[in-house]
Amino acid sequence: MTPEETQGLEERYRQAQAKVKSEVCKKCGQPVTQEAWTRVALDTMAAKVDADAGTDLSKLYASCYLVPTFQSHPTAFGLQLRLRTTDAGLVYDEVSEGTAHEMVVRGHDLVLRLLTFLNNYFQLGLDAEVKARYEMFPKIWNASGS
d(CA 12, CA 14): 5
The one-digit pLDDT tens for each residue of the chain (146 residues) are: 899 988 998 999 888 877 766 677 777 777 666 556 677 888 898 898 889 888 888 999 989 988 888 888 888 888 888 888 899 999 888 877 888 888 899 999 999 998 998 999 899 999 999 999 999 999 999 986 65
* pLDDT of 33: 62
Enter the pTM of the model: 0.63
Domain boundaries, the chain: 41-143
Helix (H) or strand (E) holding 91: strand 89-92
